[in-house]
Amino acid sequence: YSGKLVARFARTHRMTCGGTCKVGFMNQIIGASRLIQEYKGLEKVAHINEQLAEMVVLRETSRACGLEAARRGAEDPPGSGVFLPDELMGNVAKLNVCNAFWRMMALAGDIGGGLIVTMPSLKELKNPEVKDYVEEFYSFGSDEPAENIMKVTKLLQNWTAGLHGVGTWHGAGPVQTQKIMLQRVISYDHEKDLVRKQLQLKEKKKKSQP
């Protein structure tokens, strides 16, 4: 039973790790990136708006894969009352998000800038020796308090320079495990039949009996 237990756990985890879980994370990253853009007064900068739009596409693609894995799910084993996500779409969801989340992190890192990894501690805002300098230079000339800007930047630091990239890649099994499972569950019969009917392919010649 251990093999079935691991397989069923992975089947569920790949749907959530590849879909619903990362969508919530992406919401935070997108929100923080947009706030940083506004704090810096860059709302009309075309390439940043394109980056944010790409982030939304990555999020919604991940959401769609997770939802479809759940929608196609079935009771397994029949009569058990336990419903598991579709194995094909669950693995597709996880495989998709492996690369999508790295891309999301890269886009957020570009929007947030080098400050994400070079900013001083928030404690410096309470340091009388440097407090005024920190508030002046980390406000970007905006009316937004430097503390707000630094908090949002710190959030982006946690997402882009933390554990989440590797955690997403290996959560529910690294990429190769999804590829192996996909090769096990994919059937090409439907696609082959479409082409046979479309082209009216003839059946194979029957071998004559000796």
pLDDT at residue number 65: 95
End-to-end CA distance of the chain: 48
What is the C-alpha to C-alpha distance for residues 147 and 75, in angstroms, rounded to an integer?
51
In a domain, 166, yes or no: yes
Give this prediction's pTM.
Answer: 0.91
CA angle 44, 35, 104 (to 5 degrees): 90
In a domain, 30, yes or no: yes
| Neighbouring residues of 127: CB distance < 8 A, sequence distance ≥ 6 | 134
CATH code of the domain in which 106 resides: 1.20.140.10
In a domain, 208, yes or no: no
**CB 70, CB 76: distance < 8 Å:** no
Question: What's the half-sphere exposure (Cβ side, CA atoms, 13 Å) at 201?
Answer: 10
In a domain, 64, yes or no: yes
In a domain, 24, yes or no: yes
In a domain, 209, yes or no: no
What is the C-alpha to C-alpha distance for residues 151 and 157, in angstroms, rounded to an integer?
10
In a domain, 210, yes or no: no
Instruction: Tally Cβ neighbours within 10 Å of residue 63.
Output: 17
In a domain, 207, yes or no: no
Instruction: Tally Cβ neighbours within 10 Å of residue 120.
Output: 14
Tens of pLDDT, residue by residue over 103-148, are 999 999 999 999 999 999 999 999 999 999 999 999 988 999 999 9
48, amino acid identity: I
DSSP3 helix / strand / coil % (the chain, rounded to 5): 70, 0, 25
143, amino acid identity: D
For residue 42, give both structure tokens: 């860059």
162-to-3, 53, 66, 110, 200 alpha-carbon distances in Å = 33, 24, 24, 16, 56
Number of domains in the chain: 1
Domain span at residue 42 reads: 2-199
pLDDT by position in tens, the chain (length 210): 888 888 888 899 999 988 789 999 999 999 999 999 999 999 999 999 999 999 999 999 999 999 999 999 999 889 999 999 999 999 999 999 999 999 999 999 999 999 999 999 999 999 999 999 999 999 988 999 999 999 999 999 999 999 999 999 998 889 999 999 999 999 999 999 999 999 999 988 887 776
In the chain, what is the greatest distance between 2 CA atoms, to the nearest angstrom? 99
